[in-house]
């Protein structure tokens, strides 16, 4: 398994995607670590973040080539979508895989212990996993980092 | 040791506040749909345990029958299932 990293940041709000991990027909990417924090001046405000399955990638602000954690690795097959999405990805309803509500002043980190506990996307084109703010009391920029393997 | 722990956690959630206080909590992963939740004793949320997978499941209506996540993804990739 090869490990990769990527990050994205946007102003949070209602259904604002921070980053998507886009699978291909050739690979099942597996997220094993997520970090979320506020990159602007934080206030006492709350945001609710979720990771869900996506079945259409939407229109990302820009692409982000996954960074190999081991420089000897070949390039990643999956890739990230970051930036402000002009068209939000299509999320599978009521099937969120990961959820966390947090104060803006806090930093959240989640780590999977084993491969069977990672968040897995199917090896299907235009599918993947997306991390978004589902609701938020403010529109401050937050940053999300994702580590995954494929 | 996490403040909210189980014997075989699927993951760890670490939250650090503005003062540097750290709260750690174990998370569990549903063996049928892949959902992750924070273990919270006394939450009142009904979860389950699959005796075939020998792992906890999230208690969602779709997850009481044994249908492992790997099989769901296989079936989805083959077009046998519309939603994972």
Radius of gyration of chain B (CA): 15
Q: Quick one: closest CA in A to B35, which residue?
A: A97
Predicted model pTM: 0.95
User: What is the pLDDT confidence band of residue B2, given thresholds at 50, 70 and 90?
Assistant: low
Query: Is the Cβ of A123 closer than 8 Å to some Cβ of chain B?
Result: yes
- Of chain B, the percentage scoring pLDDT greater than 70 comes to 95
CA neighbours within 13 Å on the CB side: how many for B76?
23
For A45-81, b where at least 16 C-beta lie within 10 A, e where not — what string?
bebbbbbbbbbebbebeeebebeeeeeeeeebbbbbb
**Residue A94, Cβ neighbours under 10 Å: how many?**
8
Name residues whose C-beta falls within 8 Å of residue A143's C-beta, 6 or more positions apart in sequence.
Answer: A7, A8, A9, A18, A36, A37, A38, A39
Q: What is the ipTM of this complex?
A: 0.92
Interchain pair B36, A107: CB under 8 A: no
What's the mean pLDDT when you consider all of chain B?
92
Could A102 and B15 be called an inter-chain contact, meaning their C-beta atoms sit closer than 8 Å?
A: yes
pLDDT of residue B18: 86
Nearest CA in chain B to A126: B77
CA distance linking residue A75 with residue A119, whole number of Å: 21
The pLDDT tens digits for B35-68 are 999 988 888 999 999 999 999 999 999 999 999 9
**Interchain pair B14, A106: CB under 8 A:** no
Average pLDDT over residues A64-69: 96
Q: What span, in angstroms and rounded, lies between the C-alpha atoms of B55 and A135?
A: 31
pLDDT for B3: 65
Secondary structure of residue B81 in the 3-state scheme: coil
Cβ pair A95:B84 closer than 8 A = yes
Q: Could you report the per-residue pLDDT of A128-140, keeping only the tens digit for each?
A: 999 999 999 999 9
């Amino acid at each position: 398994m090869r490990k990769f990293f990527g990050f994205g940041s946007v102003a949070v709000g209602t259904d604002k995607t921070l980053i998507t991990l886009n699978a291909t027909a050739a690979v099942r990417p597996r997220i094993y670590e997520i970090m979320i924090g506020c990159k602007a001046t934080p206030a006492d405000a709350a945001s609710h973040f979720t990771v869900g399955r996506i079945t259409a990638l939407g229109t990302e602000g820009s692409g982000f080539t996954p960074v190999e954690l081991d420089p000897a690795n070949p390039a990643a097959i999956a890739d990230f979508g970051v930036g402000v999405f002009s068209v939000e990805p299509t999320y599978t309803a009521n099937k969120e895989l990961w959820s966390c509500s947090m104060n803006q002043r806090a930093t959240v980190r989640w780590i999977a212990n084993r491969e069977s506990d990672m968040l897995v996307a199917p090896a299907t084109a235009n599918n993947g996993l997306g991390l978004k703010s589902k609701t938020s009391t403010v529109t401050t920029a937050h940053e999300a980092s994702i580590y995954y393997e494929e | 040791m996490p403040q909210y722990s189980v014997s075989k956690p699927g993951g760890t959630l670490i939250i650090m506040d503005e003062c540097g206080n750290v709260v750690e909590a174990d998370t569990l992963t549903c063996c049928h749909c892949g959902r992750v939740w924070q273990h919270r004793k006394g939450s009142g949320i009904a979860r389950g345990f699959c005796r075939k997978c020998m792992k906890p499941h999230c208690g969602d209506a779709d997850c009481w029958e044994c249908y492992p996540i790997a099989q769901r993804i296989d079936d989805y990739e083959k077009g046998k299932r519309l939603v994972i």
